């Protein structure tokens, strides 16, 4: 007997800018430590690794808020379109079947087709 499928939990809210800033700070500290400690000439490439980490981190601090704002705008637009589609034919009640079809189309299927060998007759 299979258990009923529970819905997925909502995504966890995180402060991605703070995470990117912490990573950037860690790369900056590593760069300063390597500059103070001094490296032999064959190991100087580690300095460039730290510089690349700082640059990528600064880009992330700049880009992540824009990415999240764009995703929020897109989700709001999709929600507004769904809401408009639901209210488009509802006042007279003649499009109830269409509304049920729309709701079914947006909800994920609970189970897919059964494999050939597992068919219950």
Predicted confidence at residue 121, as pLDDT, reads: 44
Instruction: Give me the pLDDT at residue 59, please.
Output: 98
Name the helix (H) or strand (E) containing 63: helix 45-88
- Parts of the chain with a pLDDT under 50: 93, 105, 110, 112, 119, 121
Rg (the chain; Cα; Å) = 26
Rounded-to-integer distance, Cα 17 and Cα 92, Å? 48
Question: Is the Cβ–Cβ distance between 5 and 110 less than 8 Å?
Answer: yes
Q: What is the pLDDT of residue 57?
A: 98
**CA 106 – CA 81 distance, rounded (Å):** 13
The pLDDT of residue 27 = 98
pLDDT at 25: 98
> Which pLDDT belongs to residue 88?
81
Query: What does the pLDDT read at residue 34?
Result: 95
């Amino acid at each position: 007997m299979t258990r009923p499928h529970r819905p997925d939990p909502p995504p966890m809210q995180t402060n991605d800018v703070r995470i990117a800033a912490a990573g950037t700070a860690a790369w900056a500290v590593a760069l300063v430590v390597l500059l103070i400690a001094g490296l032999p000439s064959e190991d100087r490439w580690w300095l460039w690794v730290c510089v690349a980490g700082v640059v990528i981190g600064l880009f992330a601090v700049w880009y992540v808020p824009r990415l999240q704002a764009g995703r929020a705008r897109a989700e709001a637009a999709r929600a507004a379109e769904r809401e408009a589609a639901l209210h488009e034919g509802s006042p007279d009640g003649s499009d109830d079947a269409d509304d049920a079809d729309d709701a079914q189309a947006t909800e994920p299927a609970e189970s897919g087709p059964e494999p050939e060998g597992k068919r219950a007759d």
